[in-house]
Structure 1
Amino acid sequence: MAKGDGGSKRGFGPTMAEVAALASVTKMTVSRVLRQPEKVNPETRKRVSSAMLKLGYVPNRLAGSLTSGATGLIAAIVPTLRHSIFADVLEGLSDVISEAGLDLFVSFSSYRTDVEESQIRSILERRPDALMLTGLTHSKASRDILRNFGIPVIETWETAEEPIDMMVGYSNRDAAHAMTGELVRAGYRRIAFVNGSSAGNERARLRAEGYLAALQEAGLPALPIHVVEHDADIRPEIGARALIAVRQQTPDVDAIFFTSDIFAVGAILACREQGIDVPNTIGIAGFHDLEIGRVVSPTLTTVHVPATEMGRKAGHMLLARLSGGRSNISRQNLGFSIILRESARRSRG
């Protein structure tokens, strides 16, 4: 290694040995201050802390993990951050694990199981203490790898199938069924559904099942489901285009249920531009209960899902498993609620 004017270059800042020397203690004492501060004399602890602050010392967690077997890292894979609903889940998860002194590593799958499998392999090389996944659709190889690896795994956003380890979410089928039923009760009879692709996304498949079942129970015909092929492309313009496509295909459609509030708001704005009366000519409903749906005019009827609470519950379940707890509860259904607002409330007359 090249040397400068009497000094050496280091890649990772001051060392534990330098902290120990400045504080006049052993390296073991510095290590104990970092890992078990309550077992160190307060005066000594203060001296070591002052030395670390003066030197700008950053502890090497990786070195500690080689001894303890724990990295202090929780990994999470979400489809995208273009949809704020996934950011809400991550915020809830982070709130819980950060209180326990753990860090969060996030990766994105773009709604593709092959990408997710590659990410799982890469993440496991970093030896996380636990892993959170989005949805229940994974490659067989991903399932096998995770079951054999032995760390706690929690799947989110659905509760319909058997988990790899644990799961927390709600029933997407029941949620779509309930919303479609509300549109029927509001007096709509030609109800269309704008959905995401079901390839690699069981949530889309289950929502479609719920929509179709509700119409069948009501004795109403199901219209062709309009599928947005690029799930990660979540923009209001997509909803506006879907509105136009659905009305061209089915001119007498009188309500559209969108799988995303973002799409639904785009449709409401397009209706305003075209002079289409929402909700009397066409009712609009969304999914997720995002803030944008509460401020658009007319306000958006939607399905509320507890995204932040889902992340928090996932965090608590993972921490319980990491602490050695073996709860009989491996599945948590947080439920959903239907939020009735102006966009699907026809005038009576």
Structure 2
Amino acid sequence: MVSARQQPTMMDVAQRAGVSPMTVSRAFKDGTSVSAKTREKVAAAADELGYVFDSTASNLRSQKTNFVAVTIPSINNANFAQTVRGLSDVLRPRGLQILLGYTDYDMAQEERLIEQLLTRRPEAIVVTGGKHTPRARRLLENAGIPVVETWDLPEHPIQNVVGFSNAAAVERLVDHLVEQGKTRIAFIGGDTTLDTRGADRRLGFLRAVERHGLATDRLIAVGIPPISMREGAAAMGHLLDTMPDTEAVICVSDLSAFGALTECQRRGIAVPGSISIAGFGDYDIGQISVPPLTTLNPFPTEIGQQAARLILDLMDGQSPEPIQSIVPELLVRESTQGQPVPNPGR
């Protein structure tokens, strides 16, 4: 098990800054007589150590806060909402509630949220993804509580992980399309550094088409995440205008894939007769679209449930496996006109 590091104390900050612990305490409070220069020195020391001032320490020194902090990229994404629901369903019977913040796909905002959430001294913190700013990572490493990264399999996890490889998942989609005889395959989305999971899916696409000896230039940018149906339709229009011989397209999400599907229908282009379309996420809209969308189910509710069970085990002094991998299920539907592909299991 990857254990939580010992949280730095106010004494540690005082020693690093060369001041007394009382001065450190006053430096973090408004309306005190601590000079600006000393405040800067204390802030720099705290930043180097990953220390977060506990604004409620005097009240909570002998109490539990009974909440778990959670950050997600978006509050209107059904997949992330299901993950939060899974977390809540497992934590609630133990008297634990969720304090939720959303990052808007911005790592700088994630850093600010992590700092703010840690000042409330949660019992644990769950973050989405495995890529963070250096300071956010330092704060998490020194939080002194269970940390769980989700929706990813980071190369260098902070503590605990419940997730999957977005790149490997999309490679399976490419393999499926190649098995269907497609050789001119495009990818819509994942061109921005903001959505790190989308970027990994794009990387998986490039890795797979290179492995199959196919062209890697059929990449359509769509802008700032989250990618909407409207943006998916616009991207598909651009693809059809510039590379009309494309035989199949993988979209970064089911929402953008649905937009791509409707653009084809607007132009009278048969799906899957003239072009195949696949998405990611197994959203409801992909299940009821005509034709239904081939996609990958990342099991978002299970991600939340497993993260919650891992947290409870850690709080109970147990030693669960720190890296818990989930394999998304490939759901082959009519939009790629293929036969079901066996799921390798989870």
TM-score scaled by length of structure 1 = 0.78
Classify 1:128/1:160 alpha carbon distance in 2 versus 1 (closer, same or farther; 3 Å). closer
CA contact (8 A) 2:192 2:223 kept: no
Residue of 288, 291, 298 corresponding to 2:284: 291
| Higher-Rg member (1/2) | 1
Q: CA deviation at 1:137?
A: 1.1
1:268 aligns with 2:261: yes
Q: Matches of 1:230 and 1:301 in 2, distance apart?
A: 24
1:170 aligns with 2:164: yes
Q: Which residue of 2 aligns with 1:240?
A: 233
Instruction: Give 3-state SS (helix, strand or coil) of 1:95's partner.
Output: helix
1:73 aligns with 2:67: yes
Q: Matches of 1:83 and 1:176 in 2, distance apart?
A: 20
Classify 1:140/1:63 alpha carbon distance in 2 versus 1 (closer, same or farther; 3 Å). closer
Deviations 1:281-316 (A, max 9, x none): 110000011111111101100111110000000001
Q: Which residue of 1 aligns with 2:337?
A: 345
Letter in 2 for 1:335: V
Q: Matches of 2:205 and 2:143 in 1, distance apart?
A: 38
Q: CA deviation at 1:63?
A: 10
Letter in 1 for 2:301: T
1:302 aligns with 2:289: no
Q: Matches of 1:135 and 1:69 in 2, distance apart?
A: 30
Q: Matches of 1:201 and 1:271 in 2, distance apart?
A: 26
Letter in 2 for 1:339: L
1:106 aligns with 2:89: no
Q: Which residue of 1 aligns with 2:314?
A: 321
Q: Matches of 2:90 and 2:149 in 1, distance apart?
A: 17
Q: Matches of 2:146 and 2:194 in 1, distance apart?
A: 22
Letter in 2 for 1:249: T
Residue of 128, 134, 147 corresponding to 1:134: 128
Deviations 1:110-143 (A, max 9, x none): 1111101111111111111110000011111011
In angstroms, what is the RMSD of aligned CA positions? Answer: 1.9
Q: CA deviation at 1:251?
A: 1.8
CA contact (8 A) 2:194 2:225 kept: no
Q: Which residue of 2 aligns with 1:87?
A: 81
CA contact (8 A) 1:138 1:200 kept: no
Q: CA deviation at 1:145?
A: 1.2
CA contact (8 A) 1:79 1:109 kept: yes
Q: Which residue of 2 aligns with 1:336?
A: 328
Unaligned runs of 5+ in 1: 1-61
Unaligned runs of 5+ in 2: 1-55, 340-346
Letter in 1 for 2:231: I
CA contact (8 A) 2:72 2:101 kept: yes
Q: Matches of 2:100 and 2:318 in 1, distance apart?
A: 25
Identity of aligned residues (%): 35
